[in-house]
Amino acid sequence: MAKKAINKVTIVGCGPGSKKYMTWYALQQINSAEVLIGSRRLLSLFPDTEADTFILNNNYKVLITRIVSLRKKKNIVVLVSGDPGFFSYAKLIIDKIDIENCEVIPGISSVQMAFAKIGRSWNDACFMSLHGRTAKLASVVKKIMENDKVAVLTDNSNNVKLIARKLLEAGLKERKIYICENLSLDEERIRKFDVSSILKIQVRDLNVIIFLDED
């Protein structure tokens, strides 16, 4: 007797946050999910889903265990922010169950959207993430010192003020800094500063920071 094929786990890049930036194919896959996994913010985009939902905080071990045990019986869709290939826990899932058992649907990354908003190309940019990674601060500062165009993901504790202080200590007060907050969401805000002004401002938690060496 032929063996029943095991469902692939679908990992959907949900873009920067507003549903209007998601692809039609991604929405179709979400619609046919039996189990929908994602952060509270992403799950709230689909209040009418008939799938069983599982809210992901930082419980990645539980996430992997659940996927491994459910994937033989159910059609699982995992929602990730932005693009699954860019600083995403999609990697943990693919490393664990292998790409042959996954379908990865790309999404618009927060950095793509940030560059679109400031009207710059991103093919010549460098990318780093401080999201949950205090230890990376020195490497981020080094990257900014060595490159003209650097985009950094931050969080509320590993934030742009920490970077700005280090840049001032290193004498890089001329860098221009774009702060791109809540992209595609309510209270979206795009602002441009010099390094010392950053120390005086309030920044929303969800942001992409772009450092440019320009006049």
Ligand X SMILES: C[S@@+](CC[C@H](N)C(=O)[O-])C[C@H]1O[C@@H](n2cnc3c(N)ncnc32)[C@H](O)[C@@H]1O
Nearer to ligand X, 10 or 154 (CB): 154
What DSSP designation does 146 have? H
Q: Which residue has the tokens 């039609």?
A: 24
Nearer to ligand X, 35 or 210 (CB): 210
Nearer to ligand X, 7 or 106 (CB): 106
Nearer to ligand X, 70 or 160 (CB): 160
Q: Which residue has the tokens 């990674």?
A: 133
Residue ranges in 58-87 that form contacts with ligand X under rule CB under 6 A: 81-83, 86-87
Q: What is the dihedral of CA 77, 153, 126, 135, to 10 degrees?
A: -110
* Cβ-proximal residues to 28 (8 Å cutoff; 6+ apart), any chain: none
* CA–CA gap between residue 205 and residue 82 (Å, rounded): 16
Site string for ligand X, 102-121 (x = CB under 6 A): -------xx-----------
* CA–CA gap between residue 53 and residue 172 (Å, rounded): 47
Question: Does residue 206 touch ligand X according to CB under 6 A?
Answer: yes
Question: Does residue 14 touch ligand X according to CB under 6 A?
Answer: no
Question: Does residue 38 touch ligand X according to CB under 6 A?
Answer: no
Residues that bind ligand X (CB under 6 A): 16-17, 81-83, 86-88, 109-110, 131, 153-155, 180, 182-185, 206-208
